Chains A and B, each alone.
Chain A
Amino acid sequence: SQTIHQWPATLVQPVGSPLSLECTVEGTSNPNLYWYRQAAGRGLQLLFYSVGIGQISSEVPQNLSASRPQDRQFILSSKKLLLSDSGFYLCAWGLRVGGYTFGSGTRLTVV
C-alpha cells in the first residue's frame, strides 16, 4: 500500500535561517507530488507541484523553493526564512482526478 512520510513534525527556526522539509512516498512510482501551506486559521495554499524528477512548478512567487531529486522524494527549502513563512506545511501525492493523500504535516514557527 502507498504511504507518505513527512518530517519533521514540528520545527522552530530563527528568521534568516535555512529550511529543508522532506517528503517521501512509498508504494507507488512516478507520483504527482505537492506542497501546500496552511497559515494559522486559513485555508490551504498550493505552493509547488511536481510531475516527475527535476520537474517543479511554482504556484506562488515566494521565499521558498522545491526540488525533486528522486522519483519519490520531494523537498521544500528556503535559504533565509521570514516570519511570514510560519505555517503548517503539508506534502501530498496523488492524481487530480482521484484525490490526494496527505502527509502528517510540519508545523513551522519562525521566530
Chain B
Amino acid sequence: AQKVTQAQTEISVVEKEDVTLDCVYETRDTTYYLFWYKQPPSGELVFLIRRNSFDEQNEISGRYSWNFQKSTSSFNFTITASQVVDSAVYFCALSERNNDMRFGAGTRLTVKP
C-alpha cells in the first residue's frame, strides 16, 4: 500500500534561515508521482511541484528546491532564505497509476520575523 510520512509535525525558523521539509514514501509500483502542496492560513491547497518516478533530477524554482532520491524513497523540500509569507502547512503526496493521491500528515512551518 502506498504511504507518505512527514515526520516533522511543526518547524519554526527565523526569517532568512534555510529550512528543509522531509518526505519519505512507500510504494510497490515502479511508476508513481510525487507532489508538494502548500496550504496557507486561508486553507486552499496550492500545487507546488510534481515529480514522476523516472525523473530524479533535482529542481529549483526561485527559493524553492526539491531533492528526489529513489534510493532512500525521499522527496525533500528546501526553502532558502525563508520569508514570513512561507508560513503554511506543507503536504507531500504520492499517487500511483492505479491508486488515488495519498497525502502525508503535513508539516506546519512558521517563519518568524
Contact = CB atoms under 8 A, between A and B. Distances in A.
- Assign chain B's interface to a size class: 20 to 34
Contacts, number: 53
Contact of A99 (B44, B47, B97, B106): B47
Given A44-B91, A88-B43, A102-B44, A96 B106 contact: no
- Assign chain A's interface to a size class: 20 to 34
B53 to A, nearest CB: 11
A98 to B, nearest CB: 7
Contact of A96 (B44, B45, B97, B105): B97
Given A44-B91, A104-B44, A97 B97 contact: yes
Interface of B: 33, 35, 37, 42-45, 47, 50, 52, 91, 95-97, 99-106
When A and B form their complex, which 7 residue pairs have the shortest distance between CB atoms, in order from nearest? A43-B105, A102-B45, A44-B103, A105-B43, A96-B95, A104-B44, A99-B50
